[in-house]
Structure 1
Amino acid sequence: MIDHMGVTVRDLQAAKAFYDAAFAPLGICVVMSVTAEETGGSAHYGYGATADRRDIQAGKPSLWITEGGTATGPMHLALVAADRAQVDGFHAAALAAGGTDNGAPGVRPHYHPNYYAAFVLDPDGRNVEAVCHKPA
């Protein structure tokens, strides 16, 4: 059900230093970073398992930290979609239910070539995403 989550932090570099140290004993580290230029907003660090963690998919970011701002609220939640049509349906239904568009359905190649997602803000301003990782 949940693909990944994101939390907003006050100081991205201080939070990264904390999570790097706290997660190291767990075999969890930054597996992806995305710049503010790539997102059109804030920079992000994505944490996931190292290759030696056999119980968690290595290399896939599951927790993202993002600096500041309230444009996408204090939390980000991404839900797994079975296919791209479900992503499209989620976006349309969320807008019809009063959500605010925060990114129309489409490929986000800065994450990976098949990352197809849509983003909406819920009534409290939280960024909710549906994502499909499968090719078209």
Structure 2
Amino acid sequence: MKKIILIIIYSFFWKNFLKFFIGLKYVNEKTLKNKKQFILIANHNSHMDTMAIMSAIPSRYIHKVHPIAARDFFGGSLFKKILMRYLVNATLIQRDRDDPNNDPIDSMDKMLKKSRSLILFPEGSRGTPGV
């Protein structure tokens, strides 16, 4: 069921919305067509970045792709947690390293070992376009 919801959200709604109303162009979209697992690393200039990238993922893999998001920001309320888990398919990680037993890399490594793909925004927050 989650796979169907993600396909509807990204392959139909967001893809068409971003393409026709925002003017987003998908360049080299077929590059991911036969990739079963990957790590995408992108700049973070807008709240729409995740939606734009997820809408370029082939439908058959969309449920196995997880944007990485900050738990302290996106996990602050039950509403945000549900939104991130079921509508964005995000994996929430703890950014601080107060607990040596809770390394964010371990969370991502577990996802990769389950043959999942990741989307990372190393800037953490939205940066300045072109910089």
* Common topology (TM > 0.5): no
Tell me which protein shows more strand as a share of its residues.
1
Tell me which protein shows more helix as a share of its residues.
2
* TM-score of the two chains, using structure 2 as the length reference: 0.33
- Of structures 1 and 2, the one scoring higher in RCO (CA 8 A, sep 6+) is 2
